[in-house]
Structure 1
Amino acid sequence: MTHGRARPVGWLLAAAAGVALAIALPADAARFWRWKDAQGTPVFGDRPPAGEVDGVQASSFRRSPTDPVGLHVQDRGSHYEVVADNRAPGPVEVQLALARAENVRPVPALPASSVVPAGGKRVLARVYPVDPRMPNAFEVVLDQLPGDPRARPFDFEYRVPFDYGRVRVDQGFGGRFSHNDPQNHYAVDFALPEGTPVLAARGGVILQVESDFERTGLDRERYGGRANYIRILHDDGSMALYAHLKPEGVEVRVGQQVRQGQRIALSGNTGFSTAPHLHFVVQANRGMRLEAIPFRMFGALGELKFARDETGR
């Protein structure tokens, strides 16, 4: 029987954690059937056998509703196609790998990466039996990351992501507390009271939101990759992340187009945090990894200068 596992996009502050797609019977699932033919050879497919066949077993695996890209296996008779289906309003890079292979040969050889366009589908691999007379099985694993690694971000004048006024930065570029990794090196933490309206620093399309996380703490293992946040995709392929938002404080939806200066959320203190603040960073996909990129930002008194933070929060 084929299996699929997908590592959902942990698009927040750290790399995605692996989560197996459980065998279950949810509404949003890929279904597979297994039976034996007249010669006793195991057969599996994405459709039940025609006619009456004894010993047919039906299974399914669930794709998480937070996973923008789902996997489907289609029976083409002589082989199987592994198809990626992107439900996100922006491109997603995926990498397909084999976790188990018995008497099968994938084309292309795995692991292999590809970019699935917004709302599109793509055949990632075709899996052929090596010896059709013998039982065969395989299990595939999908890693996924937002954005297109071919994007080339250009210089842009970002606005301060809240109403103009006093600007206090608690942690700047390279801050040792939590800005010491490639995904957050050029991040800025603005000290804001909880409930402060957050504005879009640049227009774009809402790529992902999280709004129902209520906890906060200094346990990096538990909270390092969790917080309420919004990710906005810009027209040059770069992406801005607004994090540590107030529970139920997100005021936009996935797929919505927003303009620069539009209210999108309320600031908060969720996730790995010492005090209420807004974490802002611009990132780009650099080939199955997110990297922070430097940016220029302007307030009422002109361009903000973000010195490298050597102390951390």
Structure 2
Amino acid sequence: MFARRVLAISLLLVSSAGVAKKLYKYQDAQGDWHYTDQPPSAEQPAEVRQLKATSSRRVWLEKNADPARPGFFARNAYPGPIELAVDWRERENVSAYPDLPQRFVVESGQSANLFAIVPNQRAGSYRVNLQYSYVIGRPLPDYVSQTLYKPPLPAGGQFQITQAFHGAYSHNDQQNRYAVDIMMPVGTPIYAARGGIVLEVENDFTGNGTEQAYAGKANSIRILHEDGSMAVYAHLALETAQVRPGLTVDAGRLIGYSGNTGLTTGPHLHFAVQINRGMELVSIPFQFADAEGRAVEPQLGVWLSGAAPFAGN
């Protein structure tokens, strides 16, 4: 008698991202019309339409080919680590080694086997349904910022903080509690406040407004620092990112241009330092540095001065 083995994985994404595409409409030399998400040749005129961003998946939990004792591994498409949480959704006549629920730190790329499903062979049949979630970044439960951040602003410019830590308008959740909004015109150059590896680039959002429908729809760049913290630069202009995921950048490197995308009341840069604490992205207090290297508290109404980019950037 053969055992009945059904393995199903349900996906629960705690951290997801938006990816948008363009639709190209053009006529070829034979007069035929084409509608495609692939751009035509450079000399071919085309009508371009920006399509709505949809969520993308960057972490997968997958099963190996062992039918008797299936092992599970993860694929991480981010250029940095994530924390993965796996639990039972439902099960019948099975256990796991190590037992679930479990959390795993998964580096970029494919992991080794994380756990195995162990069926009760005497039962003759088994069924298992797994669920998983992830948060970008390795867990840092006791992290305290020890770094002064270079204002991410162009040299010679002065820009005012219009919403600071615990801002009543939108800085009242874990991810944004210690964020700052810096007012500036659309198209202002934005520079890396600290060096690191570019983890995420959202570059294709177009709209803006004060309705909750715009929450999570800001163009942004996320940079991972050597101590595991991450800087987020948000509300950037459409398709102006100057970096890509996986690129290593120094402090003072041009990374993009400010905009007015997502949940906004007007053009500004939203800047925050975040960590993974308890499978949740949380913002943490930080300080800027002035031209002499002295600490500047990012308080409401403070004017920040841009400094010259570092040599080589």
Q: TM-score, normalised on structure 1?
A: 0.75
Please give the alpha-carbon distance, in whole angstroms, between the structure 1 residues aligned to 2:188 and 2:153.
8
Tell me, yes or no, if structure 1 residue 217 matches structure 2 residue 222.
no
Partner of 2:255: 264
Please give the alpha-carbon distance, in whole angstroms, between the structure 2 residues aligned to 1:118 and 1:153.
25
Please give the alpha-carbon distance, in whole angstroms, between the structure 2 residues aligned to 1:122 and 1:308.
47
Partner of 2:280: 289
Partner of 1:106: 96
Please give the alpha-carbon distance, in whole angstroms, between the structure 1 residues aligned to 2:217 and 2:128.
33
**Alignment-mate amino acid for residue 117 of structure 2:** V
SS of the residue 1:160 aligns to: coil
Shift of 1:80: 0.8
Please give the alpha-carbon distance, in whole angstroms, between the structure 1 residues aligned to 2:55 and 2:211.
27
Shift of 1:307: 2.7
Tell me, yes or no, if structure 1 residue 149 matches structure 2 residue 154.
no
Partner of 2:234: 243
**Alignment-mate amino acid for residue 124 of structure 2:** M
Matched residues, number: 257
CA contact (8 A) 1:11 1:145 kept: no
Shift of 1:230: 0.6
Change (3 A) 1:256 1:155: same
Please give the alpha-carbon distance, in whole angstroms, between the structure 2 residues aligned to 1:177 and 1:3.
42
Partner of 1:73: 63
Partner of 1:274: 265
Please give the alpha-carbon distance, in whole angstroms, between the structure 1 residues aligned to 2:244 and 2:14.
17
Partner of 2:8: 3
**Alignment-mate amino acid for residue 248 of structure 2:** Q
CA RMSD of aligned residues (A): 2.3
CA contact (8 A) 1:85 1:122 kept: no
Counterpart pick for 2:111 among 102, 106, 121: 121
Change (3 A) 1:9 1:253: farther
Change (3 A) 1:192 1:142: same
CA contact (8 A) 1:9 1:67 kept: no
Counterpart pick for 1:160 among 144, 147, 151: 151
Shift of 1:120: 4.2
CA contact (8 A) 1:153 1:238 kept: no
Bigger shift: residues 176-185 or 299-308: 299-308
CA contact (8 A) 1:206 1:230 kept: yes
CA contact (8 A) 2:288 2:298 kept: no
Change (3 A) 1:194 1:132: farther
Shift of 1:11: 6.3
Please give the alpha-carbon distance, in whole angstroms, between the structure 1 residues aligned to 2:185 and 2:16.
25
**Alignment-mate amino acid for residue 157 of structure 1:** L
SS of the residue 2:237 aligns to: strand
Q: TM-score, normalised on structure 2?
A: 0.75
CA contact (8 A) 2:175 2:274 kept: yes
Bigger shift: residues 254-263 or 120-129: 120-129
Please give the alpha-carbon distance, in whole angstroms, between the structure 1 residues aligned to 2:77 and 2:270.
26
Partner of 1:187: 179
Please give the alpha-carbon distance, in whole angstroms, between the structure 2 residues aligned to 1:282 and 1:288.
16
SS of the residue 2:109 aligns to: coil
**Alignment-mate amino acid for residue 296 of structure 2:** L
CA contact (8 A) 1:96 1:124 kept: no
**Deviation by residue 1:174-200 (Cα, 9 ceiling, x = unmatched):** 001111112111100011111111110
Change (3 A) 1:88 1:65: farther
**Alignment-mate amino acid for residue 144 of structure 1:** Y
**Alignment-mate amino acid for residue 281 of structure 2:** L
Change (3 A) 1:175 1:150: closer
Structure 2 unaligned residues grouped into runs of 5+: 1-5, 18-53, 302-313
Shift of 1:272: 1.0
Please give the alpha-carbon distance, in whole angstroms, between the structure 2 residues aligned to 1:234 and 1:2.
38
Change (3 A) 1:162 1:205: same
Structure 1 unaligned residues grouped into runs of 5+: 13-63
CA contact (8 A) 1:231 1:241 kept: yes
Partner of 1:24: none
Change (3 A) 1:162 1:307: closer
Partner of 2:309: none
Shift of 1:303: 4.1
SS of the residue 1:136 aligns to: strand
Tell me, yes or no, if structure 1 residue 196 matches structure 2 residue 199.
no
